[in-house]
Structure 1
């Protein structure tokens, strides 16, 4: 078989339908809305608006959030059609494997895997830092050796991060439906905290803080500030917050009636997230001048205390810490389903793709948890943050272009979904270009690390996957 035919060999969608049929379909629209909102509206809603405003946009941070949402929305329509037509575990990895071939599916999946490994570790470390800050006034304090990653400020292991990631894994190991119920409860609590901040903050807004809404452009040590250049730089920082809808698609094999459930879950959660992000951003900018948020790790608390609502600040920040569990649940569910898909197809050792007696991919969950714990507990990894956006944007570009290949097969060997991406064939191209637009705005380091991760993926594919995949074995028969 030629090299080109080898890397473009495609999986029969009926094979995925059969393999994933052993997963329990128990998730409803409300479960996916909770998963999506819980993952998208993570801890960043309480920190990112102030940080981006101070570094790049000024009061126009709301515009950056809207532009980033438009980009994410274009791709989300493609995700919704793909998930409705092919409700398989692994989201983009499985879809691209079917429409473009094994190698391209692996690259898309490998790009997403960076998101789950690193983002899961980030949130675990972030929850640890915020919880320690809340406990410190009560005199509860861990020694530095158990508070920070290895080699960071005298740290050996971030103990709280290890514990919370492990607790979430134990919860998910008992079933996706049970995890989804906990997720729904925590998301409701987090949305309450956001709305509480917005309502209280509205009473302290000064319209003068919005002027000028788009400051004059100039270069700073952090890059462009003000003007449309600053807004564009803000989009690249913010986009990371919106990529959580992939966590919904990764669990589509466990959806009840995925034809309706998946589009509603993906698009609905993104819409709710946009409204919440823009609301928080506008209130923050109105309560204090944007420059006050420079170098602040908790701009929401800063704004509330400045407005004389210190008690509300404690409540909101306490709920925010608990609410971080929603992102951990969503990413652990999605990441474990992606790794399960790799094992299911023989791209990684098939042991990882085995289900337990209850039809749960707990071996994949264990793999994800161990790697995330190692990253979060022992390694300082702040420099890897933009690798999450870079990897996900690569997968988004694949999915957008994949709609063209999908349409040719819908109603034939792939089910004709009840939901389809509107304005075809223009919108898939816009989704691809929009994702490329954001990718080009990432800094040099992000692209460099994405390249290194891509090379590692190539080594694993050509060193293992290309010979051990089930497609390879099928073609030998």
Structure 2
């Protein structure tokens, strides 16, 4: 007979922090310091967004005031970053918001956070691969090399496109690199990020010589209805570019592999946010100063295009090369975070337990492979511009839960609170949660519908599969000791 109380009790059952501490020892602990974590964060945040999104948001939402959109997004992200810093300091485990929510809210709410983040990672990977493809095609075109139309975009026979070849190549290259282990990957990421920052500064310096002040007027174009320009457009633009700030979420997914995580992870979060925001504002102001914001409506590589149009062909080609490097570094960061989230879901039995396996290099290789395959399929079937709306929605859902979650975290006596603490408690956590809710409300209807559909699909998976296979379920608990003896946690 169905026991309703027992069924609902499973929804709110909480995991013990000590259990996660034991399970995550399988990963390559102490592999990442502040420098490596910051490189992962900056590599993820300052990726496709800085080379593409300023032009898109300027043309469709904010006009020259796109810099204000970045500032608003940075403020909201900064508030959430404070909450993330406290959680990562107190609970340095793989899976970030999913794992934390599982500990403080309970399993179902942890699944909601994890499911929202899973959409974020999968789509961000597909989007970044598409952006990398657009830039390499633009770069090759300067040498007269044209790629057949059938191989340039997602499956759309009526438009004559069937597959985005370079996007698939990008995902597979990252998969190969990450499968070799996080230590080698971190070294590569460090150099990629340094090179990218140098050329972004070069773009800002060269672009400033081609700025026409008239292009900044009107700085805030008159609203044309809805969220097209005006202050409503600026706020809507902030919600659209918010996915650019998912880097520190991805960084915290690797907390279990960090040295002295209580200190290194919070430091890396704030370093990432400050450096990325400064670069975003500088690049966006230069971009809209070089050309009227309306010019960017149909341009897929706006930064390089602006330089080519002003005669800086060498710098444009250099930027295209570094854009390829920069977006590739974002692919690394997204894949790292996404594979650790999938590992955490498999570790807890909410996804097939194979996801929770790691190889000799301490890498969750099966989770990494599934992430690559699914993102390729998503990118091949769905328009990327539609999917990016779901990225922002998933990010904001996680930010809301973690911001308010600080209120519960502080009251837990079984958790070490000796590390970083969010200031102005309890006021600032509430403000952070409300700010994220405000941005979520500003998302367009498509984003909200996609989020609702994704959430509904996730609930079905949890009820049909996750709740029965969770490591906290009674039937799994009874057999967990024998299963773990038979099946090694680390594959040979």
1:322 aligned residue: 325
Are residue 23 (structure 1) and residue 24 (structure 2) matched?
A: no
Could you give the per-residue CA deviations for residues 181-211 of structure 1, whole angstroms, max 9, x where no partner exists?
Answer: 1111111111112101111122222333323
Change (3 A) 1:358 1:318: closer
Change (3 A) 1:455 1:52: same
- 1:84/1:262 contact within 8 Å kept: yes
Are residue 163 (structure 1) and residue 169 (structure 2) matched?
A: yes
1:214 aligned residue: 220
Cα shift at 1:164: 1.5
**What is the distance in 2 between the residues matched to 1:200 and 1:360?**
41
Cα shift at 1:266: 1.1
- 2:134/2:301 contact within 8 Å kept: no
2:352 aligned residue: 349
Change (3 A) 1:375 1:438: same
Secondary structure of the equivalent of 1:110?
Answer: helix
1:419 aligned residue: 420
Cα shift at 1:218: 2.9
- 2:101/2:402 contact within 8 Å kept: yes
**What is the distance in 1 between the residues matched to 2:307 and 2:57?**
19
Structure 2-normalised TM-score? 0.92
Give the CA RMSD over aligned residues: 1.7
Change (3 A) 1:160 1:53: closer
Cα shift at 1:224: 3.0
2:385 counterpart (359, 362, 382): 382
Change (3 A) 1:438 1:185: same
Are residue 114 (structure 1) and residue 119 (structure 2) matched?
A: yes
Secondary structure of the equivalent of 2:227?
Answer: strand
1:90 aligned residue: 95
- 1:255/1:261 contact within 8 Å kept: yes
Secondary structure of the equivalent of 1:212?
Answer: coil
**What is the distance in 1 between the residues matched to 2:123 and 2:341?**
14
**What is the distance in 1 between the residues matched to 2:208 and 2:141?**
30
Change (3 A) 1:33 1:166: same
Structure 1-normalised TM-score? 0.95
**What is the distance in 2 between the residues matched to 1:139 and 1:225?**
37
Number of corresponding residues:
472
Q: How does 1:457-476 map to 2 (within 5 A)?
A: 457-473=458-474
**What is the distance in 2 between the residues matched to 1:162 and 1:57?**
32
Q: How does 1:260-271 map to 2 (within 5 A)?
A: 260-271=263-274
Which ranges in structure 1 are unaligned for 5 or more consecutive residues?
none
Are residue 298 (structure 1) and residue 304 (structure 2) matched?
A: no
Could you give the per-residue CA deviations for residues 205-238 of structure 1, whole angstroms, max 9, x where no partner exists?
Answer: 233332332233332xxx4333322211211222
1:10 aligned residue: 14
**What is the distance in 2 between the residues matched to 1:172 and 1:302?**
32
Cα shift at 1:378: 4.9
Are residue 397 (structure 1) and residue 400 (structure 2) matched?
A: yes
**What is the distance in 1 between the residues matched to 2:150 and 2:9?**
53
Comparing 151-160 with 42-51, greater Cα deviation is found at 151-160
Could you give the per-residue CA deviations for residues 264-284 of structure 1, whole angstroms, max 9, x where no partner exists?
Answer: 111110111100000011112
Q: How does 1:23-62 map to 2 (within 5 A)?
A: 23-25=27-29, 26-62=31-67
Comparing 94-103 with 318-327, greater Cα deviation is found at 318-327
1:194 counterpart (192, 196, 200): 200
1:253 aligned residue: 256
Cα shift at 1:46: 1.4
**What is the distance in 2 between the residues matched to 1:228 and 1:193?**
32
Could you give the per-residue CA deviations for residues 216-262 of structure 1, whole angstroms, max 9, x where no partner exists?
Answer: 3332xxx4333322211211222121122111011100000001111
1:242 counterpart (218, 229, 245): 245
